[in-house]
Amino acid sequence: MAGVEHVRRSLLDHATGSVAQSIVNPLRLWLAAHPLLEWRLGHPLWMLTVLVVAIALLVGLFGILGRLIENIWLTLFKTLFILLRWVAIATFTLFKALVGLVLRRIRRAPQPASSLVSEAAPSTVSPDAESSAALQTASGNPAPTSLPELLTRLTLLHQQEETLIAEIKQLLAQNSDAS
């Protein structure tokens, strides 16, 4: 067993040594080309200074990378929320348009024959029929397209106007008598 352990350690030392040599050899060649730097790195105070500066640079680099990653995530989340807001606004706008369309179609739906104003003579039309005709026009039903329908509506409106004027005159007369 001692032999196996000895072989394993020698292989490990050889592998570690060869990896270390492949990293250190180019550094040694560069330092040999620059003897002043080699002397400074060989001196303990200069080596300590270089080590402190390298650590400070690495800490700064990691801080910058951390902020960069944080900004990337924040930008992704902001973009996601902006996209969700846009989708919600578009959905609500579409829903509003569809509801408006449905309501317009419901208003334009044909009325049953009993709710339409008959084309009776103006003298036989009751004030309730006049009100319903005015309400139908105000509710958004399509305006009549034939001449008799228009004339009937005009006559109804004229009668309603005369009735309202008579009521106003009566109220004014009552007010003038009271004062």
Mean pLDDT of the chain: 80
pLDDT at 117 over 80: no
Task: Let me know the angle formed at the C-alpha of 178 by 176 and 179, rounded to the nearest 5 degrees.
Answer: 65
Mean pLDDT of 84-103: 92
- 76's enclosing H/E stretch is helix 44-108
Mean pLDDT of 45-51: 86
Q: Report whether 122 contacts 155 (CB < 8 A).
A: yes
**Between 80 and 38, whose confidence is greater?**
80
User: Which residues, 6+ apart, have CB-to-CB distance to 107 below 8 Å?
Assistant: 139, 140, 141
Residue 102 has what pLDDT?
Answer: 87
Q: Name the percent of the chain lying above pLDDT 90.
A: 34
Q: Is 160 exposed, middle or buried (0-12, 13-18, 19+ CB in 10 A)?
A: middle
pLDDT at 123 over 50: no
pTM (two decimals): 0.36
